[in-house]
């Protein structure tokens, strides 16, 4: 076949295909128009639009409805409803933490916020058994009143939002009324779903976040899970009673009106790859408005590369994280920490962080390396601290891992932070330097299982004056270790924050052999 004839045939085939495509397109559009023109299809389209507008308007109305305030015995709470992908009840007992209850399956979240405690009524309830006996009925009546007011308010806002959305979108009275009708059906269906899927036993199966992590004493025992309303009623009473008692305890702490302009430092140590430490750190950082965190080492257990993934949690914090190496942290661990965007790694250097000049050194030992000899001699350790120069500029704070090394900085700074001992302590050295030794913020990690009593989880909030940069007070936070339920905050006031810091005498004695050396690495951080 000649080449020219071949091209002619190909061109003819292309023309026929294009013509067939045009005819098919016209037929398709004509058929679609006929279908769309059918009354049933138009009606279905209109109702679909009405349903979408009604749902959006009701959702928006509930979202902007705010909430109501109500009393539950001595506790004043705020109640609010919000659309959500999964049904939950959230109880925010700030600053103690948050309780999450999987109470229903409908797409609504009930949020209960603790607004205030009537201290007089709470104390009377605790002291008077007769008043305590009446508390279940009182709480039940108050809760019914509050929830009824919330439901009425949310219903009005949902229907009002749907009606307004219908008027704005359709601009016709009949369509707007249809939108209101659909919204009423949706709201009624959601309410029915809440009632049908409501689980009273959820109150004894909460999820904890914040300082209440591991503290089920707030809601009492969950040894048995029952669905009877009496159980729900009793557990609700226990929740209100325990919250009242916790707040009464917190209100009795020593009064320290911390200056909002003060520098707030969270001191943590010896986390030993225990994830519970990050929960505590995140909550305290948020609730106490922490400016910077100082970690005095032993973030890991063996300083291995797989443990580097654990340090990534540092980068998820919103404040600077000052860190010194402990005797369980390797140089690889140090590099992993340094890669976090908010980390300030100090190893024989100083840095100014949030107005505080901080000097730090890493521990000279790496005890997981059994091939290397670890010098635990107190004379060597204290001399190790003395040999390091903090620089020409005065430093406000020194961070080291071992308390014995910390004593080597006596007289060269007002405050030294350390860890290592897995037990909290403090002492004022003869030079005027305050030594603060932190317990284990990780509850000693797996070491907590080696003893009869679990190691508590500990951290402290330190308050520094922004002008003088001197320590003025600190709050010690202690949570019960594995399997325990206590939460305690103890406040301490620095009696002479502006005291003179005297240098160590030139002939300062080194510790003698009678000074007890730290315990062996397998039992200490």
Q: What is the CATH number of the domain that holds 268?
A: 3.60.21.10
Cα 448 to Cα 242: distance, rounded to the nearest angstrom:
28
Q: Give the tokens for residue 483.
A: 């399997």
**Claim to verify: residue 190 and residue 245 sit in the same structural domain:** no
**Claim to verify: residue 393 and residue 467 sit in the same structural domain:** yes
**Claim to verify: residue 296 and residue 386 sit in the same structural domain:** yes
Look at residue 293 and tell me if it is in a domain.
Answer: yes
* 8 Å CB contact between 278 and 299: no
Look at residue 30 and tell me if it is in a domain.
Answer: no
**Claim to verify: residue 232 and residue 265 sit in the same structural domain:** no
Cα 232 to Cα 229: distance, rounded to the nearest angstrom:
5
What does each of the 525 residues of the chain score in pLDDT, given as a tens digit? Answer: 555 565 565 566 556 655 655 665 565 456 545 544 555 656 777 778 878 887 787 778 777 777 788 877 777 778 888 877 777 788 776 555 567 777 778 788 888 877 776 666 666 665 666 665 666 677 767 777 888 888 888 888 888 888 887 788 777 777 778 888 888 888 888 878 877 887 766 665 556 554 444 343 344 333 332 333 444 445 555 555 555 555 554 444 455 555 677 999 999 999 988 887 888 888 788 878 899 999 999 999 889 998 898 999 999 999 999 999 999 999 999 999 999 999 999 999 999 999 999 999 999 999 988 777 788 899 999 999 999 999 889 999 999 999 999 999 999 999 999 999 999 999 999 999 999 999 999 875 555 444 456 678 899 999 999 999 999 989 888 876 444 445 677 788 888 999 999 998 876 555 543 333 333 333 345
In 3D space, the residue among 286, 293, 287, 297 whose CA is nearest the CA of residue 315 turns out to be 293
Look at residue 18 and tell me if it is in a domain.
Answer: no
Q: Give 135's contacts (C-beta < 8 A, 6+ positions apart).
A: 73, 125, 237, 240, 241
Q: Is the dihedral of CA 323, 328, 330, 336 positive or negative?
A: negative
Q: Give the tokens for residue 466.
A: 């922004």
Look at residue 499 and tell me if it is in a domain.
Answer: no
**Claim to verify: residue 189 and residue 261 sit in the same structural domain:** no
H or E, element range at 266: strand 263-268
By residue count, the chain amounts to 525
Look at residue 330 and tell me if it is in a domain.
Answer: yes
**Claim to verify: residue 171 and residue 201 sit in the same structural domain:** yes
**Claim to verify: residue 141 and residue 243 sit in the same structural domain:** no
Q: What is the span of the domain harbouring residue 355? A: 256-493
Cα 68 to Cα 210: distance, rounded to the nearest angstrom:
25
* 8 Å CB contact between 349 and 324: no
* 8 Å CB contact between 491 and 258: no
**Claim to verify: residue 82 and residue 105 sit in the same structural domain:** yes
**Claim to verify: residue 272 and residue 415 sit in the same structural domain:** yes
Q: Give the tokens for residue 262.
A: 């003060």
**How many domains are there within the chain?**
3
Look at residue 345 and tell me if it is in a domain.
Answer: yes
SS3 state of residue 280: helix
- Give me the phi and psi of 444, to 5 degrees please: 70, 10
**Claim to verify: residue 444 and residue 481 sit in the same structural domain:** yes
Look at residue 3 and tell me if it is in a domain.
Answer: no
Cα 301 to Cα 304: distance, rounded to the nearest angstrom:
8
* 8 Å CB contact between 460 and 441: no
**Claim to verify: residue 145 and residue 57 sit in the same structural domain:** yes
In 3D space, the residue among 158, 148, 161, 154 whose CA is nearest the CA of residue 186 turns out to be 158
Cα 248 to Cα 245: distance, rounded to the nearest angstrom:
5
Domain termination residue (choose one: 157, 189, 213)? 213
**Count of beta carbons in the 10 Å neighbourhood of residue 266:** 25
At 519 the pLDDT is 38
**Claim to verify: residue 265 and residue 285 sit in the same structural domain:** yes
Look at residue 6 and tell me if it is in a domain.
Answer: no
């Amino acid at each position: 076949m000649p080449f020219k004839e071949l091209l002619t045939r190909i061109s003819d085939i292309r023309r026929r295909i294009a013509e067939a495509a045009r005819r098919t397109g016209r037929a398709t559009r004509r058929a679609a128009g006929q279908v769309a023109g059918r009354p049933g299809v138009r009606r279905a389209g209109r109702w679909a639009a009405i349903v979408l507008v009604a749902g959006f308007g009701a959702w928006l109305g509930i979202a902007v409805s705010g909430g109501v305030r109500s009393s539950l015995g001595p506790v004043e709470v705020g109640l609010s409803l919000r659309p959500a992908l999964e049904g939950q009840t959230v109880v925010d007992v700030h600053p103690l933490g948050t309780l999450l209850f999987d109470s229903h399956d409908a797409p609504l979240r009930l949020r209960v916020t603790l607004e205030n405690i009537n201290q007089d009524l709470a104390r009377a309830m605790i002291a008077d058994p007769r008043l305590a006996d009446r508390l279940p009925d009182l709480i039940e009546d108050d809760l019914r009143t509050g929830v009824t007011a919330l439901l009425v308010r949310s219903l009005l806002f949902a229907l009002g939002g749907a009606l307004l959305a219908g008027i704005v979108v359709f601009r016709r009275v009949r369509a707007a009324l249809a939108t209101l009708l659909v919204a009423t059906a949706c709201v009624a269906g959601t309410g029915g779903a809440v009632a049908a899927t409501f689980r009273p036993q959820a109150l004894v199966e909460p999820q904890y976040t914040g300082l209440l992590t591991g503290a089920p004493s707030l809601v009492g025992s969950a040894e048995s899970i029952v669905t009877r309303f009496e159980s729900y009623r009793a557990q609700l009473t226990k929740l209100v009673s325990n919250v009242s008692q916790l707040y009464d305890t917190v209100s009795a702490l020593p009064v320290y009106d911390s200056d909002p302009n003060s520098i707030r430092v969270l001191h943590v140590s010896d986390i030993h790859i225990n994830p519970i430490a990050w929960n505590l750190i995140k909550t305290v950082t948020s609730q106490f408005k922490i400016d910077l965190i100082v970690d005095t080492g032993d973030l890991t257990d063996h300083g291995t590369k797989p443990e580097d993934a654990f340090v990534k949690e540092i980068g998820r914090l919103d404040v600077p994280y000052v860190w010194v190496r402990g005797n369980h942290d390797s140089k690889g661990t140090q590099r992993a920490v340094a890669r976090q965007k908010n980390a300030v790694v100090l190893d024989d250097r100083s840095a100014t962080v949030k107005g505080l000049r901080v000097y730090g050194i890493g521990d000279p030992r790496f005890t997981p390396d059994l091939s290397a000899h670890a010098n635990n001699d107190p004379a060597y350790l204290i001399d190790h601290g003395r040999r390091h120069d903090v620089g020409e500029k005065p430093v406000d704070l020194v961070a080291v891992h071992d308390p014995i090394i910390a004593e080597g900085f006596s007289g060269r700074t007002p405050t030294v932070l350390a860890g290592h001992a897995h037990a909290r302590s403090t002492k004022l050295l003869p030079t005027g330097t305050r030594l603060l030794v932190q317990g284990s913020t990780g509850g000693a990690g797996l070491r907590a299982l080696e003893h009869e009593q679990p190691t508590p989880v500990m951290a402290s909030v330190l308050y520094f004056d922004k002008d003088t940069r001197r320590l003025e007070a600190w709050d010690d936070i202690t949570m019960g270790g594995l399997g325990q339920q206590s939460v305690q905050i103890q406040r301490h006031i620095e009696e002479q924050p502006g005291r003179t810091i005297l240098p160590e005498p030139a002939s300062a004695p080194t510790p003698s052999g009678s000074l007890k050396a730290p315990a062996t690495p397998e039992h200490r951080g």
